[in-house]
Chains A and B, each alone.
Chain A
Amino acid sequence: MTNSTHHEPPAPILQARGISKRFGGALALADVDLEVRPGEIHAVVGENGAGKSTLMRILAGIITPDSGSIRVGGDELEGGPRAAIDAGIALVHQELSLVPEMTVAENILLGAPPTTAGFIRSRQLKSIAREALDEIGVTVDLDEPIARLSVSLRQFVEIARAVARKPRVLILDEPTATLTPAETDYLLAMLQRLASKGMAVIYISHRIPEVFAICEAVTILRDGHLVERTEIASTTPSAVIDAMVGRELQLDLQVRRTANPGDVVISARGIKAPNVNDVDLDVRAGEIVGLGGLVGAGRTELVRAIVGADPRTAGTVTMTVDGRRTVIGSFQSAVRAGIGYVPEERRVDGLALTMSVSDNVALPNRAELSRASVLRPKAISAFVRRLADVVGLRPPAITRDVGEYSGGNQQKVVIAKWLGRKPDFIVLDEPTLGVDVGAKAEIHRLVRELADNGAAVLVVSSDLPELLELSDVIHVVRDGRIMGTLAQSEADEKTVMSLASGETLVGA
C-alpha cells in the first residue's frame, strides 16, 4: 500500500470496544469492536442490515449504545453529537443532511458560523468554507443554495462540512452510492490525500473494488456481529465477500428456480418520467424480472411510472391476460386490471400503521368482501386469517395494529393484501429492506410461489445476493435507462455492478 506507516502501526486514534445495541426486540449490534489508526483508511463492510450504519451513528454520538465504550485518542467519549464533534469525529451521513435553501457556505458551517454579537461575519464564513472546499479540492459557488446543486455535488459539500470541523476521524457512509465513476475516482483519491495528512478515515461501502483500492484494513460485519478484522494486504476480495454474506446465503444462491415463462403480461414502451428516460420493458407470466442498479438510478421512479402510481410524461403500458388487452393509465386502473404494488416505503406508502392487520389487508379487496358496498366482517376475518397463514404472519393476531409488528411482519402484511387479489402482475420494490433474515427467506419463498403460480413479477432490489437469487432476468438501470440485460446464467455481482456503476470499476 502507499502508506509507509504500515509496518510500524501507531497507537489507534479510535477504539470502540464491545459495542452492543438493540432496537426493540431486534439485535442491531452484538459486542462489536472497531480500531482505527491515524492516517489509515479503514473499511467497514457488510450486507444491508449488517449494522454498519448503526455502528457509525453510535460513533458519532447520534445513538447511545446499550453497552460498550468508545475512546478517541485515549479519552473516553461520552455524550451526544456535540461531544463526538468536539472529540474530532465527523460523520458524512448516508442521507444527506443539508438545508436546501441555505447556501453552500452556510451549510458547511451550519450551527457554528463565525459571528460578532450574533451577526454572521459573512466574509470569514466564506473563507472558512472555501478553505474546506480547497482541502477536498472541489470548486463550488459558495453562494449557491443547496437546492440548486446536483446530488453528487451535495455529497461533496457534505464532505467539506465534515472536513471543516478539522476531524481526527472522518466517517463516510456509502459516499459513492450516488456518484459517477469519474467522481468516485476523484473521491477516493481525495480520501487518500486526507489520510496521508494523518486523518483517520472510516469508509463504509458495498463496493469491494473500492475497498481494495484505497483501504489498509477492513472490519467485516454480518447480522450485527463482528466477523473479522483483517489487513487488506493479507486477504482477497472473494474472501471478504464470503465473510460478508456467510455460507448459508451462498448455498441459497444455488437453489435458483427454473423459470418457465409464458406469454408477455406486461409490456411497457417508451416510458418517460422524471429520472426515467425512455425505457422499454416486458415481463412474462411466471417470470421474475429483477431491476438492479445503484440507489438513485431511477428504478423506483420507473416502476411507479409503470404501475401509474406517478404520472408518466410519455410512453404506454399494456397488460395482456388471457388475450384481453388493457391499457394501464392511472394507478386505479392498474389495480383494477390486476396489478399489485409493494412499495419501497412500506410504512409511508404501503400500510396504514394505525389500522389493524385485517383492515389493511381488506383495503384493496373491498369489492369482494362487501355486499352492496357494505363490508361483511365475517368474510373479512376469514379472508384475512387465510392470507395471514399463507404469508406466515407471526403472531397471527389480525386485529392488532400493523404498527405494532416488526418490519418483516409489516412487509408480509403488504404482500398479503395484494395476494388476496391474485395479481397477474406484481411489483415489489426493495421487498426485504430492513427485514430480518428469517422473514427475508419467507418473503423470497412467497415471491417465488407467486411466479410459480403464473404471475408476472418485477423485483427492485439493491441487495445484490437477493437480486441474483430471485431473478430469472436482470435489467440493470443507470441514469433512468436500462444499461444492460443479464440472463440468470450470466449475472453475478461483478457483471451487475459494472453495468450499474458505468464501464470502469475503480481499481478493479
Chain B
Amino acid sequence: MSTAEKQPQTTMHLGAARGGWFDQLKVTLARRTEGRGLALLSVVIVAAAILEPVVFTSYQVTLGRVALIGLVALGLTAVILMGELDLSVASTLAVSGVVMASIPDLWLGILAALATGLIIGAINAFFVVVVGINSFIATLGMLFALRGLAFVLSDEKPVRLTDIDAGIAFGAPLLGPITPRVLLFVLAFVALQIFLTRVKAGREFYAVGGNRQAAVDAGIPVRRRILTGFLISGFVASLAGIINTLERTAADPTAGSTVLLASFAAAIIGGVVLNGGRGSVLGTLIGAFSLGILQIALTLSGVQVDIQDIFIGVILLLAVITDPTNLRAALAGVRSSLRSRERAQTPV
C-alpha cells in the first residue's frame, strides 16, 4: 500500500541518455539498417578507384548499369519489406517489353506495358492474399508462365520497335550524364523513398512485415497493403521493361533474365531482410551501386561474366554473414562443433 500514499515520481527515464553530437550520430547510425551496404560500397569504391579508375571517368556507363539493376530492385523492396517475395519481376519485364513493342503507337504501347505490369501485380496479390498461396510459389508460377507468354507473344524472336527514332532519342543524355533511364530510376527512388518513410500506407508496410498480428490488431488493412506492394513491384518491373525496349529499339523475350537475382542481391546487400519488416529503399540503392560498380569494374578489367558472378556471390554472402547477429551465431556454432569434436577424441 506504500506506493499508493507516496507521491509518485512524475517521470521515469528509461531510454539511453543522449549526449553531444557524437552520441547523437552514433545513435542515428545504430538505428539505420544500411550499415553493411555502406561498408561494402566503400570497399568496392576504394578498390575500383585504385585498380580501375575508368569506372568513375566513364560514369555514364556505370550509372546506366546501376539503374538497370537498381530499378527492379526498388520495386522488389516494397514487397520484401512485407515479408513476401516477387520472383516474377524479370518475366514481367520481358512481357511488358514485348507488349509495348507489339503496339505500333509508342505512347499507347507504353501505357499498355504499364497496365500489363499492374495486372501482373494484381494477379500475384490475388494468389497470395485471396487464394492464400505462399508468395514464393505463387510468383514462381508466374515467373514461368509469363516467360512463356513473352515467347508466345513475340513468336520467339525480338520484336522491333515501330518508332525506332524514339528509342534512339531515349538513349541520349538529357543533361550531363543523366540519361532518361537514370532520370526515371532517380524518380522511382524518390517516389518510393517518400512513400515508405512519409506516407501512412507505406509506413504500414513495415508493420505488415515486422509483426503481422500487431498490424491486424491495429486495424491495418493488411491484404490491401500486400496488394499495393505487388502493384508497385509489377509497375516498376514493367517500367524497366519499357526502358530496356526503348534503349535497344526492340523487345527481346529473353530480356532481363539476369535481372531477377541481381535485384534480389542488391536489396539484400542493402540490408533488406527477407523475412520482412527491416530495410529501406536507400539500402537497396546502396546495394545497387555496390553491385553496379563492381560489375563495371570487373568488365573493364577484362574479367569474364561467369567469373563476375562468382564475385557477386561472394559479396552477397559476405553481406549476409557480416550481419552482427549472424556473425555471433556462426561463431558460437563453430565453437560448439569444435568442442564436441574435442570430446569425441577423449572418451573418458
- The answer to whether the Cβ of B219 comes within 8 Å of any Cβ in the partner chain is yes
The reply on B147 being an interface residue by CB < 8 A is no
Tell me, yes or no, whether A329 is within 8 Å of chain B by CB: yes
Q: Is B26 an interface residue (CB 8 A)?
A: no
Determine whether the beta carbon of B343 is less than 8 Å from that of A329.
yes
Q: How many residues of B contact A (CB 8 A)?
A: 52
State whether A312 touches B5 (Cβ < 8 A).
no
Contact A145 B31 (CB under 8 A): yes
A118 within 8 A of B: yes
- Is A113 engaged at the interface, CB distance under 8 Å to the other chain? yes
Interface pick from A13-21, A100-108, A283-291: A100-108
Which residues of B319-348 have CB atoms within 8 Å of chain A's CB atoms?
329, 332-333, 335-337, 339-340, 342-344, 346, 348
A119 touches B3 (CB 8 A): no
B3 and A189 contacting across the interface, CB-CB below 8 Å: yes
**Contact A97 B1, beta carbon cutoff 8 Å:** no
* Residue of B whose beta carbon sits closest to that of A308: B336
- A441 on the interface (CB 8 Å rule)? no
Contact indicator B219/A99 (Cβ below 8 Å): no
CB–CB A99/B206 < 8 A: yes
> Are A189 and B6 in contact, with the CB atoms below 8 A?
yes
Evaluate contact between B14 and A150: CB separation under 8 angstroms: yes
Nearest-neighbour CB distance to chain B for A107, whole angstroms, equals: 8
Cβ-defined contact, A139 with B200, below 8 A: no
**9 A/B residue pairs, CB under 8 Å, sorted by A:** A99-B214, A101-B33, A112-B218, A112-B219, A119-B198, A149-B15, A312-B336, A327-B346, A333-B340
Extra inter-chain contacts (8) besides given A115-B200, A312-B336, A326-B343, CB under 8 Å: A99-B206, A137-B12, A141-B27, A143-B31, A148-B30, A153-B15, A189-B8, A333-B344
Determine the residue in chain B with the shortest Cβ distance to A313. B332
Collect the chain A residues with CB atoms within 8 Å of residue B9's CB: 137, 186, 189
Would you call A327 and B348 a contact (CB within 8 A)?
Answer: yes
Within 8 A of B (CB), among A306-361: 308, 311-313, 324-327, 329-330, 332-333
What's the nearest-Cβ distance from chain B to residue A166, in Å?
Answer: 16
Q: Which of A1-38 contact B (CB under 8 A)?
A: 1-2
B residues with a Cβ closer than 8 A to A are 1-6, 8-16, 18, 27, 30-31, 33, 198-201, 203-204, 206-207, 210-211, 213-215, 217-220, 277-278, 329, 332-333, 335-337, 339-340, 342-344, 346, 348
Q: Does the CB pair A110–B207 fall under 8 Å?
A: yes
B4 near A214 with CB under 8 A, answer yes
B3 touches A138 (CB 8 A): no
Residues of chain A with a CB closer than 8 A to B5's CB: 2
Contact B217 A141 (CB under 8 A): no
The distance in angstroms between the C-alpha atoms of A115 and B200, with both chains bound, is: 7
**Contact of A193 with B by CB under 8 A:** yes
A98 contacts B by Cβ under 8 Å: yes
A243 at interface (Cβ–Cβ under 8 A)? no
Is the Cβ of B219 less than 8 Å from the Cβ of A81?
yes
Known: A311-B333, A327-B343. A99 touches B6 (CB 8 A): no
Which A residues lie at the B interface, using CB under 8 A?
1-2, 62, 81-82, 85, 93, 97-102, 106, 110-113, 115, 118-120, 122, 134, 137-141, 143-145, 148-150, 152-153, 156, 183, 185-186, 188-190, 192-193, 212-214, 308, 311-313, 324-327, 329-330, 332-333, 506-507
Q: Output the least CB separation between A507 and chain B (Å).
A: 5
User: Do A139 and B15 form a contact, CB below 8 Å, given A100-B211, A100-B277, A110-B214?
Assistant: yes
- Contacts A115-B200, A214-B4; is A85 near B219 (CB within 8 Å)? yes
Residues of A within 8 A of B337 (CB): 330
Tell me which residues across on chain B come within 8 A of A119, comparing CB atoms: 198-200
**CB-based contact A506/B336 at 8 Å:** no
Q: How far is the CA of A26 from the CA of B148 in the complex (A)?
A: 52
The reply to whether B14 and A101 contact each other, CB–CB distance below 8 Å, is no
Name A156's closest neighbour in chain B (CB-CB): B14
Query: With A97-B217, A311-B332 given, is the CB distance from A325 to B8 under 8 Å?
Result: no
Known contacts being A144-B15, A507-B1, is A120 close to B215, with CB within 8 Å?
no
Q: Within the assembled complex, what's the spacing in Å between the Cα atoms of A313 and B336? A: 8
By Cβ-Cβ distance, the 3 closest A-B pairs, closest first, are A329-B340, A111-B218, A311-B332
Complex: how many Å from CA A56 to CA B214?
A: 16
Also in contact, A102 and B203, with CB within 8 A (given A137-B8, A150-B14, A308-B336): yes
Chain A: minimal CB distance from B331 (Å): 9
Name the CB-closest residue of A to B343: A327
Q: Which partner residue on chain B sits nearest A110 by CB separation?
A: B218
Given contacts A102-B210, A506-B3, contact A152 B219 (CB under 8 A): no
B211 touches A97 (CB 8 A): yes
- Contact between B203 and A120 (Cβ–Cβ < 8 Å)? yes
A328 to B30 CA separation, bound complex (whole angstroms):
37
Q: Which chain B residue lies CB-closest to A103?
A: B31
State the CA gap A411–B11 with chains docked (Å): 46
Task: Indicate if the CB atoms of B277 and A99 lie closer than 8 Å.
Answer: yes
A118, B211: Cβ atoms closer than 8 Å: no
Contact of A311 with B207 in the complex, beta carbons under 8 Å: no
B335 x A330 contact (CB < 8 A): no
Contact check, A118 vs B199: say whether CB atoms are below 8 A apart. yes
**Min CB distance, A326 to chain B, in Å?**
7
Evaluate contact between B336 and A139: CB separation under 8 angstroms: no
Q: Is the CB of A102 within 8 A of B207?
A: yes
A12 to B291, CA, bound (A): 65
Complex contacts, B211 vs chain A, CB 8 Å = 97-100
Cβ–Cβ contact B3 & A139, under 8 A: no
- Contact assessment for A111 and B13 in the assembled complex, using a CB-CB cutoff below 8 Å: no
C-alpha gap A148/B348 in the complex (Å) = 45
Across-interface contacts of B333 in A (CB, < 8 A): 311
**A98 to B342 CA separation, bound complex (whole angstroms):** 43
**Complex contact A190–B8 (CB within 8 A):** yes
Q: What A residues does B207 contact at CB under 8 A?
A: 99, 102, 110-111
Measured CA separation A326–B348 after assembly (Å): 6
**Docked-complex contact B206 and A101, CB < 8 angstroms:** yes
A360, chain B: closest CB distance, angstroms: 25
Q: Which residue of B lies closest to A115 (CB)?
A: B200
A213 to nearest B CB, angstroms? 6
Q: Check B3 against A188 for contact (C-beta < 8 Å).
A: yes
Q: How far is the CA of A2 from the CA of B6 in the complex (A)?
A: 11
Contacts of A311 in B (CB 8 A): 329, 332-333, 335-336
A175 CB, nearest partner CB in chain B, Å: 14
Chain A residues whose CB sits within 8 angstroms of the CB of B277 once the complex forms = 99-101
Residue numbers in A under 8 Å from B219 (CB-CB)? 81-82, 85, 111-112
Q: In the complex, what distance in Å separates the CA atom of A43 from the CA atom of B260?
A: 56
Bound-state Cα–Cα, A150 to B199, Å: 28
Q: Are B210 and A100 in contact (CB under 8 A)?
A: yes
User: In angstroms, how far is the closest chain A Cβ from the Cβ of B341?
Assistant: 8
Q: What chain A residues lie within 8 Å of B6 (beta carbons)? A: 189
Considering the complex, give the chain A residue whose CB is closest to the CB of B348. Answer: A325
- Chain B residues positioned under 8 Å from A140 (CB to CB): 14-15
A111 contacts B14, C-beta separation under 8 Å: no
Whose C-beta in chain B lies nearest to the C-beta of A325?
B348
Residue contact A507 to B3, C-beta cutoff 8 Å: yes
